[in-house]
Amino acid sequence: TMERLWQIGELAKCAGVKVSTLRYYDACGVLRPARRAESGYRLYAPEQLEQLRFIQQAKQLGLSLRQVRRVLELSESGELPCEQVAPLLRRMVVRLNERIELLRRRREALLHALSLQEPEKDSARPCCLLYAAMEYLRREDTMARTIEVFTAGCPLCDETIQRVKNAVASCGCTVITRTPDSAEAQQYGIRAVPAIVVDGQLVFTGVPTQEQANALLTR
């Protein structure tokens, strides 16, 4: 006997999704109906319920519909998609780690603000609690940075080092001094000193004013 096909509403109800979702999946090419009735209604095979669940769960993991469709196409063609999926999952893990770290920092900043018994009041600021959280994030950003100052030991270089240290003094950030003939200077393309490198990027050459140093090193 011919296998009974499901109408779109039946599949949607069984899977717990909206009919509009199935129509969208059809339009995207990720889940085509098994066939269409003479009336034009979409008809689905019962085994497509498992495919629909796979699509939904893959989306929950963070895959896009385009990526899910590619996996299904490879599988249907007889290929093993795992070799192509593995690099994708690694990239997703990297992005998730970055997101987790961002959320951790936000949580710590909010908890810090809430822990203040009497936050500093300032009529010029809309909300002192929010400013306390923002200041916490700024300090943590600065502490997490790697700051290198390339100097030749001249008075102007010494002045640059002092201004850099002043800029990050409240954050306890370590300032690394290097000579212009070091391997790092070659790596960063340092051509003149003093020079300031932050997180591997040359950000300033010359002697900064204290205001410039503050702006460069305190976000």
- Decide the pairing of beta strands 147-150 and 175-178: parallel
- Decide the pairing of beta strands 42-44 and 147-150: unpaired
Tokens 């205001």 correspond to 211
Q: Alpha carbon 48 to chain centroid distance?
A: 34
Q: Where are the domains of the chain?
A: 6-79, 85-139, 145-217
Strand order in the sheet with 6-7: 6-7, 42-44, 35-36
Say whether pTM exceeds 0.75.
Answer: no
pLDDT (tens place) for every residue of the chain, 219 residues total: 457 899 999 999 999 999 999 999 999 999 999 999 988 899 999 999 999 999 999 999 999 999 999 999 999 888 888 888 998 899 899 889 888 988 988 999 999 989 987 766 766 777 888 888 998 887 777 666 788 999 998 999 999 999 999 988 866 677 899 999 998 898 888 999 999 998 888 999 999 999 999 888 875
**Is 6-79 a domain of CATH 1.10.1660.10?**
yes
Q: How far is 15 from 208, CA to CA, in rounded Å? A: 63
- Please identify, in words, the CATH class of the domain defined by 145-217: alpha beta
Asked if 145 contacts 172 with a C-beta cutoff of 8 angstroms, the reply is: no
